[in-house]
Structure 1
Amino acid sequence: MQTLKVKIVAACIASLPMLAMAHPGHESAHSGFMAGFIHPFTGLDHLMMAIALGVLFSKFAKQWKITGVIAFILTLAFGFVLGMQGIFATMVEYGIVASLIVLAVALCVRHQMLLAISAIGLTMFHGVAHGFELAHSGNAVYVASGMIVAMALIYFGGLGLGEVIRRYVPYGDKMVAACAAVVALINLA
């Protein structure tokens, strides 16, 4: 009976990445700006990470709100360019996982600079993944532009949510930290 429980738990854990619905709809992702814009709203990984980064940055430092958006956009665009050139394409998944691990450590030790570095790494490697996928598409610039605009909007939503939580929810800071840890674990899975 114990072995059956272990097998059920292992099967559930193994299916977690499928539940993220990380990248559905890529078959139409090569059609232009709107396809790129819609893509982040169709993947749970995009939504969770952009909202979580916005919430985290609203919690840790006021100066990161605007500079965070600028860094987020530039890093994602830089990642797209690297991916289209095939740079880091073979190690993109390792880069994403390493960034998530560093992000989790930064949250545990409350280290703001480490948090910023891991968020930038995570954003860049995600851009590399999509840039590599779109490298041979004639509309790669339009799709990338749509994704960048959508991710920035989701990030702004996370900033707003973080402010509401910090100001109006009792123990909001602790809830944000706990939610961020859960998000990091889900995306790591």
Structure 2
Amino acid sequence: MHHLKTKILAGVLLTLPTLAMAHPGHESAHSGFMAGFIHPFTGLDHLMMAIALGVLFSKFAKQWKITGVIAFIMALSFGFVLGMQGIFAATFEYGIVASLIVLAVALCVRHQVLLAISAIGLTMFHGAAHGYELAHSGNAVYVASGMIVAMALIYLAGLGLGEVIRRYVPYGDKMVAACAAAVALLGLA
């Protein structure tokens, strides 16, 4: 029975990367602001990470509420510019993974500064990946603007969700921590 549960769990874990589907549809994503705006809502990884970061910052870094939104917008924008210039072209995926690992460590040790730095790094490298993909598009600025606005809105929704969980759900803080660990693992997958 134990082996059957292990096989089922392994099968489920193997399907997680296909569920993320973060980057299909980029061939049509070159059309403008709305395509960029819709993109974060169609990729499970974008949606989960932005919501999760909002929830995390509602718990671990109270001073990062609105300041975090501004920092993420700046990091994502900076990443887009770097990516469009081809900077980090060979390493942005490694930067994303490294940021996720540091983020997981920061969560484990509850280090707020490291959490903020790794989240900003993750956001910047993610922006670089999209900037690189969109570099030769004539509408890259519009697509990037749409993505930035959508990610900020999703992050704000995560902040709100985090506050609701912390205030009104029994053991909400523990649930947020467990969800954060799950998101970090999913991101690494």
* Deviations 1:6-31 (CA, angstroms, capped at 9, x unpaired): 88766654432111111121120000
Instruction: Name the counterpart of 2:63.
Output: 63
Q: Which runs of 5+ in 2 are unaligned?
A: none
Paired residues of 1:36 and 1:142 also in contact (CA < 8 A): yes
Paired residues of 1:24 and 1:42 also in contact (CA < 8 A): no
For 2:43, the aligned partner's letter is G
For 1:93, the aligned partner's letter is E
User: 1:181 and 1:9, CA in 2 relative to 1: closer, same or farther beyond 3 A?
Assistant: closer
The structure 1 segments of at least 4 consecutive aligned residues displaced by more than 4 Å after TM superposition are: 2-12
| Identity across the alignment (%) | 87
Q: TM-score when scaled to structure 2?
A: 0.94
Cα distance in 1 for partners of 2:143, 2:89 equals 18
Any idea what SS the aligned residue of 2:86 has? coil
Q: Which runs of 5+ in 1 are unaligned?
A: none
Instruction: Name the counterpart of 1:126.
Output: 126
Q: TM-score when scaled to structure 1?
A: 0.94
Alignment of 1:133-148 (within 5 A): 133-148=133-148
Instruction: Name the counterpart of 1:28.
Output: 28
Indicate yes or no: 2:18 matched with 1:18. Answer: yes
Any idea what SS the aligned residue of 1:118 has? helix
For 1:23, the aligned partner's letter is H
Alignment of 1:1-189 (within 5 A): 12-189=12-189
Cα distance in 2 for partners of 1:106, 1:6 equals 29
For 1:172, the aligned partner's letter is G
Any idea what SS the aligned residue of 1:64 has? helix
* Deviations 1:104-134 (CA, angstroms, capped at 9, x unpaired): 0001000000100110010000000000000
Cα distance in 2 for partners of 1:4, 1:54 equals 37
Any idea what SS the aligned residue of 1:89 has? coil
Q: Please say which of residues 20-29 and 100-109 is displaced more in the overlay.
A: 20-29
For 2:168, the aligned partner's letter is Y
Cα distance in 1 for partners of 2:97, 2:17 equals 13
User: 1:8 and 1:172, CA in 2 relative to 1: closer, same or farther beyond 3 A?
Assistant: closer
After superposition, the CA RMSD in angstroms is: 1.8
Any idea what SS the aligned residue of 1:70 has? helix
